[in-house]
Each structure stands twice: as C-alpha cells, then as structure tokens.
Amino acid sequence: MMNNTEKWLSNYILSCRNIRTLSERTLQAYSNDIRSWFQFLEQEEVAPEKVNRDIARLYISSLTMRQLSPATINRTLSSLKGFYQYLEKRGDSSGNPFTALRSQKNPSTLPVYLTNREVEILIDESEGNSFESLRDKTLFELLYSTGCRVSELCALNADAMKNDRILIRGKGGRQRFVFIGKSARDALSAYLPVRQEKLRSMGKGEKKALILDYRCDRLTTRGVYYIIQKYLRKTGLNRKVGAHAFRHAFATELLNEGADIRVVQEMLGHASLSTTQVYTHTGIERIRQVYRRAHPHGRERKRNHRSTVV
C-alpha cells in the first residue's frame, strides 16, 4: 500500500502528464527531484506537509554546497514549487514553502552551432543509395530545414508530411507548423521507398515512425547522437556537437539573413522570446558592417593630404 508521499508524487506526475502535457524526460526529472527532497526530509525528520520556508532554504543551500549547476538547482525549484502548489490546491498543504525562493542566475553561455558549410559537409558525406545513407541524409536535411528539436523529429510519423509543412507538437503541448525545404523534400522522396522496402525485408509490416533504426524500430534521440558522432569522425570535423547544433544553425542562418526574431521564435516553438534572443550573438558582426556602411560617423574618413596654402 502506498504511503502519502508516494501517492502525492504519483498523482502529481500524472497531473503533469495529462494536464501540462510535459515530456517523459521532464516528468522523470521532476520525479527524481521530488524523491531527493523526500529523502532530505526523512533525514531531517520533517513531514512533507509540515515544511516551512527555513527548511526549504536549507535544502536549496545544500544543493549549492554540493556544487550542482544553477540549471539543476532551478529545475529542482520548479519541480518543488509545482509540487507544493498541487498539494495546496488539494488541501494537503497549508502553503508553498518554495514560493519566495528565487531562481539562481544562469551563467551566460552561447549556443554551440554548426556553420552552414559544416552542415553541407555532413550532408555530402551521407550521400549513397543504402538504407542507412538515405535515412541519415533525410535526418540531417530535416533537422536543418525545420529547426525541430531532435525529440520532435524522432516522434514524427511517416504520414506527418503535408505538402511542404509538418504540424509539430512541441514542449508543453504547444503546436506549430515547420516547413520543409526542397533539399529535405528530395531526400524524403528518395528515403521513403527504401524505408518501405526495408520494412518488407525485415517482415515488420507497417510502422508509423518516419525515421527508423537498423531494426526498423523508431530511432531514438540517443541513436541520432551516435549517427552524428559517426559522421563528425568520418569528415574530420573536430566539433563536440549533437543534434541541437542543427537547430542552432537553423536559427542562426535565419537571423543572419534578417528574419524577424518573433517569427524565428514561432518556428522554433520557444515559449519565451528571451530563449530565442541567445541566437542573436552571431549577428553582431553583421550589425557592425551595417553600421559602418550606413552611419556617417561609422565610416572611416579619407585623409586629406592636400597642402594648405598660407
């Protein structure tokens, strides 16, 4: 029989899955955060529903002392704030001890991205007529053409394509359309018949997943990572990047070509504009060039070498 804490946790995770439609990865992280909190309370001999603000501060301080990253600590705060908000609404807690605790400031880091040329090198390396080559080229083309998260791409089904666009269900259940360029459409046209033949040869029948692994199961995000590493080694590109680098490249190219940042935000499926703004760092040189070309004081003045007659 479940005790109260296990019952509360189980019901909270179920609520996050059904109402907030969080990803399984996020739900697992939340569950781990809350279980760690329960272990701390057990050591302190404090019941979860009796926690006050001082105990909450002590716990967050303990995470800092363990030298956990600000991102991990902030996620833990989010997990526990949401959990106690849930308990408060149900009447199982008289208040939320984490409400007044502020998130830690994340150090400013620039996203790691592939250049347009590096993306082309990876795509060129994937040329071939085998199932793996055609699949890998389709994978790379779709990542770069759509700006999808790798989890979104792996979740796509073969019937998701509607002419030149796909309806994506992203984080938090937010939906958006992403567009497929001609190169990606051509790669898909070459891949789909070979995919179908691969399924027949393996006796797998019909499979919904668009991108398949060698067993004809849905390709996982970890599988995508291994494929990218293989091509990075083959091409000699000395870069420590994963699938997200294609998404960064997508956003960077759009912004460098003058796309409106709010349109890019919509394409990427970002809930906050501040998340998209991290990509604008790559446009600084372009802004400098425009300034030098357009502003009177930005241009270098030509020296006047004519002598002055006295």
Using CB atoms within 10 Å of the CB of residue 114, give its burial: 0 to 12 exposed, 13 to 18 middle, 19+ buried: buried
Asked if 279 is an active-site residue, the reply is yes
**Degrees to nearest 5, angle at CA 293 with 254 and 302:** 155
- Is 295 marked active-site? no
The active-site residue, picked from 12, 86, 144, 279, is 279
270 is annotated as an active-site residue: yes
Nearest to 251 by CA among 220, 236, 273: 273
Q: Contact, 173 vs 165, CB < 8 A?
A: no
Active-site option among 137, 149, 198, 248: 149
Which is the catalytic residue, given 195, 198, 247, 248? 247
Segment (H or E) for 176 = strand 175-179
Quick check: helix, strand or coil at residue 252?
Answer: helix
In 3-state terms the chain splits into helix, strand, coil percentages (rounded to 5) of: 60, 5, 35
Residue tagged active-site, from 57, 171, 176, 185: 171
Annotated catalytic residue, options 12, 270, 293, 297? 270
Return the half-sphere exposure (C-beta side, CA atoms, 13 A cut-off) of residue 99. 10
User: Which H/E stretch holds residue 246?
Assistant: helix 244-256
Active-site residue, selected from the candidate residues 17, 207, 230, 244: 244
From its phi and psi, is residue 220 left (phi > 0), alpha (psi between -120 and 50) or beta? Answer: beta
Which residue numbers are catalytic?
149, 171, 244, 247, 270, 279
